[in-house]
A = this chain, B = another copy of it.
Amino acid sequence: MTAFDRLSNISNVLAPPASCSTVQSEDIPEKPYKATVVGSGNWGSTIAKVVAENCIERPQEFDQTVCMWVFEERIKGEKLTEIINTRHENVKYLPGILLPANVVAVPDIVEACKDADIIIFNIPHQFLGNILRQLKGKVNPNARAISCLKGLNVSREGCDVLADVISRELGINCGALSGANLAPEVAQCKWSETTVAYHTPADFRGKGKDIDKKVLKHLFHRPYFHVHVIDDVSGISLAGALKNVVAMAAGFVDGLGWGNNAKSAVMRLGLREMIHFAKLYFPECEERTFTEESAGVADLITTCFGGRNVRVGKYMAEHHVPAEDAEKVLLNGQSCQGIFTTKEVYEFLSQRDTIDEFPLFHVTYDIIYNGFPMEKLPERIERGDEKY
C-alpha cells in the first residue's frame, strides 16, 4: 500500500472535526493549498505534525497530504522515509511522537516541493545553500514560503535573514515562523505560543487564490499552539538567530553555578544587544517584536532555560571542553546553531567596527573561539554596558 492509498483510507475513518462545520465560505480557496515541509529534525517533524493536523481539520482549505522532505538515512538497515511512512514516527529525531498519517516522508527534495503552494523550510542553517541550489527553478512560481530556520547569512556584502535568502534564490515571497517553541514540548501538545511574520507581496493574487495572513493562521494555529501573525519578518528572524548567542552565554553561567540572578543579567543584556543589532542593521524591524512577541523575549527565555544551545554552553563550562565536543556529546547529530551564529555575528560586527557595542556577543565569541576564561564574563559585560 502506498502512502497515498493509506492516507485515503485514514481520511475515511477520521470523523469530521468540530471546526469543519464552522468554516466560512470566504475561507475556501479556489483549490486547496498544498503545504510541504522541508526538513525532518525534531522541529521540522513537529511543524509537519502541527500543519498536518490543521490540514485534516480544514479539508476545503488545505490539501490533505503534507509532504515532508527527509534527508534519507538508514536506521538499522531500514530507510528513515519508510519508517516514517509505515510507522508514523520519526524514530531518529522525534522518537515517541505519533505523526498524523497524512504526513508523507519524501526523500527527493524536488519531488517533495514540486506541487506545493506553501513550502515551509525547517532545516539546519548549514544545509540551506545546497537545498536551494537543488530547488532553484523547480518550484511552482506561484508558491509562497515560510522559514522556520534560525540563523543569519553573513557575507562580505552584508547580513541577510534567511527568509530573504530563500525569497531571492527561489523567486518566491518568504515569511517566517519563530517563537518560544522547544520542539519536544510542542510535539507533546503542551501549550505554547508562536509568532508568524508575513509581508503580503506586491504580486498578491487575491483572497482565495493566494496565501495571506489568515491562511497562515489557519495552517499553524492549534488549540495548544497559539499563533500571532505580524508583519516583521526581519525582526522575528533576527530574534530567532541572535537569541542562540545569548543562550550560549546563559549556558556558561549555568555551568559555572552562578545562579538565577547572573543568568537573568546575561539575558537582559542579550535582549538589549539583539535590539541594538536590529536597530543598527535592520532599521525596518520593530523594537516591540523583541519585547512583546513570542518570537522575542519569550523565545529568549525558553531557549535560555531549555534549548540545545544552553545545554552546550553549560556542558562546556562544566567539563572544560570546546563547543564542538559538547555538541557531539549532547545532540545526537543535531546542530547547535549558537556556535555558528556567534561566529557569524562576530565577523559581521568586526568588519563594521561595531563589535565594541556588543559586549555580550563579543565575550561569547571570545569564550567559544579564543579560549577566553568564562569566569571573567561579568567584567567584560559591565564595561560594555556603560557605552549605551
> Which A residues lie at the B interface, using CB under 8 A?
180-182, 185-186, 190-193, 226, 228, 258-265, 267-268, 271-272, 291-294, 296-299, 301-302, 305-306, 378, 382, 385
23 residue pairs bridging A and B, Cβ less than 8 Å apart: A180-B268, A182-B259, A182-B260, A185-B260, A191-B258, A191-B262, A191-B378, A192-B265, A228-B385, A260-B302, A261-B302, A264-B294, A264-B302, A265-B298, A267-B301, A268-B294, A268-B296, A268-B297, A268-B298, A271-B291, A272-B292, A291-B291, A297-B297
How many whole Å from A244's CB to the nearest CB in chain B?
Answer: 15
Please give me the residue from chain B that is nearest to A180 by CB atom: B264
For A272, what are the chain B residues with a Cβ–Cβ distance below 8 Å?
292
A226 touches which one: B294, B298, B378 (CB < 8 A)?
Answer: B378
**Helix, strand, loop or mixed for chain A's interface?**
helix
| With known contacts A226-B378, A261-B180, A267–B305 Cβ distance under 8 A | no
Copies in the complex: 2
| With known contacts A268-B298, A297-B297, A382-B226, A192–B261 Cβ distance under 8 A | yes
A352 vs B181: C-alpha distance when bound (angstroms): 36
A186 touches which one: B261, B267, B268 (CB < 8 A)?
Answer: B261
For A301, what are the chain B residues with a Cβ–Cβ distance below 8 Å?
260, 263-264, 267-268, 301
| With known contacts A181-B261, A272-B292, A267–B192 Cβ distance under 8 A | no
A296 vs B297: C-alpha distance when bound (angstroms): 12
Q: A192-B262, A193-B261, A263-B305 are in contact. List 7 more A-B contacts (CB 8 A).
A: A181-B261, A192-B259, A260-B305, A264-B299, A271-B291, A271-B297, A272-B292
Inter-subunit contact A261/B185 (CB<8 Å): yes
For A258, what are the chain B residues with a Cβ–Cβ distance below 8 Å?
190-191
A13 vs B306: C-alpha distance when bound (angstroms): 48
Inter-subunit contact B191/A267 (CB<8 Å): no
A299 vs B297: C-alpha distance when bound (angstroms): 13
- Scoring A228, A296, A297 by chain B CB atoms within 10 A of each residue's CB, the highest score goes to A297
- Scoring A181, A226, A258, A261 by chain B CB atoms within 10 A of each residue's CB, the highest score goes to A261
For A263, what are the chain B residues with a Cβ–Cβ distance below 8 Å?
301-302, 305
Inter-subunit contact B191/A264 (CB<8 Å): no
A82 vs B302: C-alpha distance when bound (angstroms): 46
Inter-subunit contact B291/A265 (CB<8 Å): no
For A226, what are the chain B residues with a Cβ–Cβ distance below 8 Å?
265, 378, 382
How many whole Å from A43's CB to the nearest CB in chain B?
Answer: 12
Please give me the residue from chain B that is nearest to A304 by CB atom: B301
A181 vs B291: C-alpha distance when bound (angstroms): 21
A260 touches which one: B193, B261, B262, B306 (CB < 8 A)?
Answer: B306
Inter-subunit contact A193/B298 (CB<8 Å): no
A306 vs B306: C-alpha distance when bound (angstroms): 15
How many whole Å from A229's CB to the nearest CB in chain B?
Answer: 12
- Scoring A226, A294, A302, A385 by chain B CB atoms within 10 A of each residue's CB, the highest score goes to A302
For A261, what are the chain B residues with a Cβ–Cβ distance below 8 Å?
180-182, 185-186, 190-193, 302
A65 vs B163: C-alpha distance when bound (angstroms): 61
Inter-subunit contact B297/A265 (CB<8 Å): no
Inter-subunit contact B265/A294 (CB<8 Å): yes
For A306, what are the chain B residues with a Cβ–Cβ distance below 8 Å?
259-260
